[in-house]
Amino acid sequence: MTRISKRSFVHLAGWGAVAALAAVAGCSKKEETTTTTTTAAPASAPVAAASAAPPAASAPLKVAFAYVGPVGDGGWTFAHDNARKAVEKHFGDKVETSFVEKVPEAADAERVFRDMAGQGNKLIFGTTFGYMEPMLKVAADLKDVKFEHATGYKQADNMRTYDSRTYEGAYMAGVIAGGMTKTNTLGVVGSIPIPEVIRNINSFTMGAQSVNPKVKTKVVWVNEWFNPPKETEAAQSLINGGADVLMQNTDSSAVLQTAGKAGKYAFGWDSDMTAYAPNAHLASSIINWAPYYINAVQDALDGTWKGGSGSWWGVKEGAIDIVSISDKVPADLKAKVDSVKAGLKDGTFVIWKGPITSNEGKEVLAAGTNADDKFLGGVNFFVKGVEGKVPGGEKK
């Protein structure tokens, strides 16, 4: 009797193990499909594709995009994907685009870039800072593929960089925030303390100070681009600390929604986020990547694409805008935003113009000088009015 039940146990345990394995296998299979084919691109494939170049005029140019988040984030990645759709619309059947979402900023990215090239893509966009090293490595191996890297600073013969002047949007949002705050305390949920984000926090504060010199800005870092519960908690603690207008340099709409729940104000970032919290939403600082993407694809189609360069587009080129300004914003404040926008467009207005002092009282930009792009690329201090210290900012 015992023998039989023991045997049947072994039998059943076996079935259980099969079921568990099936569950694990099912899961890992899913992961594979989201990052497109994993092993289908042997090392020889790109070489074979390379020897087939140049493509016939009728064959569409294959363009691929690697995204760091899901296209449904409603923010950063969403904006890139809208621009990809604009490219498809603009060029019709002359191009064929594809994307892989949620590509981690790690070794996996390299594999994804190789896969993309293996599938015959000739122009590849990587849309986050963390793809810089993997992309550089792949670019060195695959000379016939053109690489475009967003927000980075390393380039190669077949790799160039592009970025948008998000700080211009942050400044315009700051103008609105400075006029709307009652507590004179603004709050920013920061992602990762890199120059781009610090520059945005500073520009936001400078915008606010241009209409309300008493404004101070509190900053809370979540050390991630996308973690809605953490963004919520950070936003909540800023509100608890007295901030009544929030901005975020993270990728989801969580901060805006938290402000909505607490009856405070906030902004949309990267994409128009009005719908997430119509009552809390003051305006959205958006990035329109479409002009750059269309331009880059045009270069590739014309054969005029050149690597080793970088571009940084802003309001002037139509890459940055502030949209869906709420009716709660008074007309004179709106007019002020419009004049800033017009000034940025024709180049008569400069945001980063000396004298600028850090919040430790040091003059970082002398009176009368305009910051150049190199200066802007290395911002590692808070300007006067921002509270606290840049994490790790003391080392120079």
Partner 1 sequence: MMDSLPLLVAATLNSGTVLAFAALGLLINERAGIVNLGAEGIMLVAAVAGFATVVHTGSSWLGFAAGALAGAALAAAFGVLVIWLNTNQYATGLALSLFGVGFSAFVGIRYTQEKLGERPNFEIPGLADVPFLGPALFRQHPMVYVAIALTAAIAWFLYRSRSGLVLRAVGESPESAHALGYPVRRIRLAAVLFGGALCGISGAYISTVYTPLWVEGMIAGKGWIALALTTFATWRPARVLLGAYLFGGVTMLQFHLQGEGVQVPSQFLTMLPYLATIVVLVLISRNASFIRINMPASIGKPFFPG
Query: Closer CB to partner 1, residue 12 or residue 40?
Result: 12
The CB-of-103 to partner 1 minimum distance in angstroms stands at 14
HEC string for the chain: CHHHHHHHHHHHHHHHHHHHHHHHHHHHHHHHHHCCCCCCCCCHHHHHHHHCCCCCCCCCEEEEEECCCCHHHCCHHHHHHHHHHHHHHHHHHHEEEEEECCCCCCHHHHHHHHHHHHCCCCEEEECCHHHHHHHHHHHHHCCCCEEEEECCCCCECCEEEEEECHHHHHHHHHHHHHHHCCCCEEEEEECCCCHHHHHHHHHHHHHHHHHCCCCEEEEEECCCCCCHHHHHHHHHHHHHCCCCEEEECCCCCHHHHHHHHHCCEEEEEECCCHHHCCCCEEEEEEECCHHHHHHHHHHHHHCCCCCCCEEEECCCCCCEEEECCCCCCCHHHHHHHHHHHHHHHHCCCCCCECCEEECCCCEEECCCCECCHHHHHCCCCCECCECCCCCCCCCC
CB-wise, 241 or 378, nearer to partner 1? 241
CB nearer to partner 1: pick between 256 and 296: 256
Find the shortest distance in angstroms from Cβ 388 to partner 1: 4
- Which of 286/371 has CB closer to partner 1? 286
> What's the min distance (Å) between Cβ of 235 and partner 1?
9
Give 79 or 172: the residue with its C-beta nearer to partner 1. Answer: 79
CB of 139 to partner 1, least distance (A): 30
Nearer CB in complex with partner 1: 254/320: 254
Residue closer to partner 1, measured from CB, 240 or 309: 240
CB of 128 to partner 1, least distance (A): 17
Q: Which residues bind partner 1 (CB under 8 A)?
A: 1, 5, 9, 12-13, 15-17, 19-21, 23-24, 26-28, 30-31, 70, 72-74, 187, 218-223, 226-234, 236-243, 252-254, 257, 260-261, 263, 275-280, 387-389, 391
CB of 145 to partner 1, least distance (A): 30
Tell me how far, at minimum, the Cβ of 217 lies from partner 1, in Å.
Answer: 11
